[in-house]
Chain A
Amino acid sequence: MKRILIVDDEENIRFLYKEELEDEGFVVELAQNGEEALEKLPLFKPDIITLDIKMPGIGGIETLKRIREMERGLPIILCSAYGEYKQDFTTWASDAYVVKTADLTELKYTIRKFLGLL
């Protein structure tokens, strides 16, 4: 069972992702900001993380940096309503960048790709 950590400040989004991904057979853990994600990371030991960029607190980018320091090889998918940063982050920081839409096909596809489930 692959483990996914969802980091997003919107409760509805967290809930939607949890439902959808659990339906796919993943073990899902939620964090509502960067600080909580960093706390849960060593306990939950996820196989992959989806990370929102715009969040209260330390925010997505800072969280991304710190996770990289702790777990170097952990795949991180940036997941944002902002499409315009895609170019920047896919090139250096994250492994993938998915623009949030109601249709989760792309997100699910990307997660499977990184977990070698395709």
Chain B
Amino acid sequence: MSEHPDAYTLLKSIIHHSASSLPIETKLDQMVQSISSAFQSDRCFLLRPDQINQNGFLSRLASEKKPFWMDEGSSFQGDGVLLEEKDLLSPTFACIPLWDETTFQGILYISFSNKKKLSPQDVDLLLLIAEEMRASIRNACLHQKAEQTISELTALHEMGKAVTSTLQLSDLLELILMTGLKTLKAKGGVLRVEERRTGELKVKSSHGDYHQNPLDEKIARRVFFTRTPISLNHSGKERPFLSILCAPLLSKGGVLGTLTFYNKEADPSKFDERDFQLLLTMANQMSCAIENALTHYEISNIAQELEKRVQQLSTLWELSKALLTTVNFERIIHLTLTAITIGDGLGFNRAMLFLVNEKGKTLEGILAVGPDSAEEAGRIWTTLSQRKGTPSDLIAQLQLSPEGNSILSSMIKGIQIPLEQEHCILSRTVLEGRPFNIQLPPAGEEWLQIHCERGCNLGSEVGCGAGEHLSHHPRVYSFATVPLWGKGKVIGVILVDNLYNQNPITEDDIHVLSMFSNQAGLAIENAILYRNLEEVHQELKEAQTQLCHHEKMAALGELSTTIAHAIKNPLVSIGGFARRLDRAIQNESQEKRYTQTIVKEVARLEKIFNDTLNYIRDESLVFKEYDLRDILKKSLSMISEGFDDGGIHLVKEFADGLPKVIGDDQQLKQVFFNLITNARQAMNGKGTLTIRIYPISRNGSPFIKMEVEDTGKGIDPENLHNIFNPFFSTENASLGLGLSIVHKIVTTHRGQIEVDNHPGKGATFIVTLPAKKE
């Protein structure tokens, strides 16, 4: 048993190896070892397909699928043997190609250094062993394939489990990438998803730093747009080798994104066709899950948005409800600004209201609500957060007074901005009728005046609070303005900022603020109209009272006229005959006193009647142009006696170039007469009486003012409201018609009368009369 091996022992050994659970390569090595030792060959090995040169002798053998024998008696000249294959040409050798149906598995080679004859048993034995090796290889292949399939299936199963475990988009994408990495045993990966709004392909999840390579994005974009997967082995001169697999994530009719993997964690790090197929399978399966998650993500976004909108609408509703609780102007504007500043409302830090003054074409600061300092802000917020109730309840409970007196509010109240200013944001808000949302980095003191170059002092006013604050918190200050719409026109502006908490003002904030201010605008306009209506109503009421008063007076007048006339005739007789009697009686006699008393008392009675009748009657007046100084001189000449005794010093201050007044000279004389008489009575015969006459101009029309100033006792404040009433007098001897006649005459002349009263020091009556235009 030296020449030929023991077939039984060899086959036993081969079957033993074949059945072992060792790896296929080890199995084959052991089998080759067994063959070699059994046949005592020089060389024996299994050539795998990748070790065989394609154009050589061996490859020809492989393609012929027939074993080749070279032994004693064979004639082989080495035709078609490549140089590298020459080494195989031993004196005796055999090559047995191993074929598994369609797959070439390799060539079993055995050689002997001496020439010998291979017996038919040897040939049979070798073929048998080759058959066994082929089967082993096939089994191993099948096993390997089965194992791989199982691991892939496991991976896919894992992935399926994973993708159904969450609808959180970011979690899901992370899971997909990690499972992919595990399944493909890749070193790195990148998952990109298209942003639906922008159409941008964005990295959502990555492992390793491959996504930083510009090549990665290039490949992903190409795959995304062509919807075709790519398998690429990239090697550059200076760059390390890259094996890349990239697949599009396809959904119903669209591309969601791309999934890319880099370099296998093996040597070589190249992905094979199987990996590629696996990736495609994965990509297909994942797309659906990603699409679902994306849809879920979008829907939940929409739901959140809707929830926010509902919240905003309910806040707006609450605030509008609060606005409906009153028509009082002060309360409405206070409510509006409070609603804008409280946390449950719109939540701005400060709010300021400006209203358009249509006559003056200006924008006027009306009210501001907001803390004066950061400390106060904190205190208010703490208090408010402890209160319970809906915003409308909270607002309804608010007191009016404290806010109106804040430093901020009093600053705002002084602001007046001409409406034609193009640079002032507030003015532009009115003129352009749109909101402004402005972010400014703090640039010194003049940070807002950039927009108010023509002297609008808003910048400095709002800025002095903001400037101080910003010096402690050097961050960006932003503010926003919205127009306040009435019916078809802008009636004002609301300015808001977040000075204390520095929250940015978003477009959404502006949107809600605009919605609210639209309602507030109407409410404020209504309140203004209501206020005007109330004023008119009040005026009407006053006019009605006055009318009643007039009617009463007229009735009284008619009665007095009748009585007065009935009494006047007898008075003439009594007085007339008394005078006759008086003249007839001797001066020294007792009767002379009687008659003189009758004469005097009748004269007094006649004066009373004349005064009364003068007040009551509607004289037909004759209006002519007069120089007021002439009329005054005539009046003074009538009463000169009182000034003669030197008790009263008369001062006349007349301006030059006086325009003429238009009036009835008799009546105007009466005005002077009564005012001077009044003043003399007040001074009780001692003091200084100053009369001034000077021109003034009101709204472009000329007027004349005359003042009658005395140094008497002044008017008791208690009586001040009564002095122009008829029959009111503090003098027992007076009928009390003097000042009321003056008042009546001045009013008839479309003038005004005022009193500058200093109790204890004197009073000045100031009459303003319209003058003739030059």
User: In the assembled complex, which residues on chain B have CB atoms less than 8 Å from the CB atom of A13?
Assistant: 569, 572-573, 576
Q: State the majority secondary structure of interface residues on A.
A: loop
The 8 Å CB contact of A102, one of B565, B578, B617, B619, is: B578
Contact between B573 and A88 (Cβ–Cβ < 8 Å)? no
Contact between B603 and A102 (Cβ–Cβ < 8 Å)? yes
Q: List the B residue with the shortest CB-CB distance to A9.
A: B569
Q: How far is the CB of B194 from chain A (nearest CB, A)?
A: 102
Complex CA–CA separation, A19 to B603 (angstroms): 20
Contact between A101 and B622 (Cβ–Cβ < 8 Å)? no
Contact between A16 and B613 (Cβ–Cβ < 8 Å)? no
Contact between A84 and B619 (Cβ–Cβ < 8 Å)? yes
Interface size classification for chain B: 20 to 34
Q: List the A residue with the shortest CB-CB distance to B607.
A: A101
Q: How far is the CB of B320 from chain A (nearest CB, A)?
A: 64
Interface membership of B671, Cβ < 8 A = no
Interface-centre pick from B577, B578, B617 (highest chain A CB count, 10 A): B577
Complex CA–CA separation, A78 to B576 (angstroms): 18
Interface membership of B522, Cβ < 8 A = no
The 8 Å CB contact of A19, one of B580, B599, B613, B620, is: B580
User: In the assembled complex, which residues on chain B have CB atoms less than 8 Å from the CB atom of A40?
Assistant: none
The 8 Å CB contact of A83, one of B571, B576, B613, is: B613
Complex CA–CA separation, A88 to B620 (angstroms): 9
With A83-B610, A88-B620: A101-B572 Cβ-Cβ less than 8 Å: yes
Interface membership of B713, Cβ < 8 A = no
User: In the assembled complex, which residues on chain B have CB atoms less than 8 Å from the CB atom of A16?
Assistant: 572-573, 576-577, 580
Q: List the A residue with the shortest CB-CB distance to B567.
A: A81
Q: How far is the CB of B669 from chain A (nearest CB, A)?
A: 14
The 8 Å CB contact of A101, one of B565, B570, B606, is: B606
Contact between A102 and B606 (Cβ–Cβ < 8 Å)? yes
Interface membership of A93, Cβ < 8 A = no
Contact between B576 and A102 (Cβ–Cβ < 8 Å)? yes
User: In the assembled complex, which residues on chain A have CB atoms less than 8 Å from the CB atom of B577?
Assistant: 12, 16
Q: Mark A86-103, 1 if CB is under 8 A from B, else 0.
A: 011000000000001111
Q: Mark B540-560, 1 if CB is under 8 A from A, else 0.
A: 000000000000000000000
User: In the assembled complex, which residues on chain A have CB atoms less than 8 Å from the CB atom of B565?
Assistant: 54, 81-82
Contact between B569 and A102 (Cβ–Cβ < 8 Å)? no
Interface membership of A62, Cβ < 8 A = no
Complex CA–CA separation, A83 to B258 (angstroms): 114
Complex CA–CA separation, A87 to B613 (angstroms): 15
User: In the assembled complex, which residues on chain B have CB atoms less than 8 Å from the CB atom of A15?
Assistant: 573
User: In the assembled complex, which residues on chain A have CB atoms less than 8 Å from the CB atom of B603?
Assistant: 102-103
Interface membership of A71, Cβ < 8 A = no
Q: List the B residue with the shortest CB-CB distance to A105.
A: B579
Q: How far is the CB of B136 from chain A (nearest CB, A)?
A: 151
Contact between A84 and B613 (Cβ–Cβ < 8 Å)? yes
User: In the assembled complex, which residues on chain A have CB atoms less than 8 Å from the CB atom of B568?
Assistant: 81, 100
Contact between A102 and B620 (Cβ–Cβ < 8 Å)? no
**CB<8 Å pairs between A and B, sample of 23:** A10-B573, A13-B569, A13-B573, A16-B573, A16-B576, A16-B580, A20-B576, A20-B580, A81-B568, A81-B569, A81-B572, A82-B565, A83-B610, A88-B620, A100-B568, A100-B569, A101-B606, A102-B574, A102-B575, A102-B579, A102-B602, A102-B606, A103-B579
Residues on B close to A: CB < 8 A? 565, 568-580, 599, 602-603, 606, 610, 613-614, 617, 619-620, 622
User: Assuming A15-B573, A82-B565, A101-B606, what are 19 further A-B pairs, CB within 8 angstroms?
Assistant: A10-B573, A13-B572, A13-B573, A16-B576, A20-B576, A81-B569, A81-B572, A84-B613, A84-B617, A87-B620, A87-B622, A88-B620, A101-B575, A102-B575, A102-B576, A102-B578, A102-B579, A102-B606, A103-B575
Residues on A close to B: CB < 8 A? 10, 12-13, 15-16, 19-20, 54, 81-84, 87-88, 100-104
The 9 lowest CB-CB distance pairs between A and B, nearest first, are A102-B575, A12-B573, A81-B568, A16-B576, A84-B617, A100-B572, A102-B602, A102-B576, A10-B569
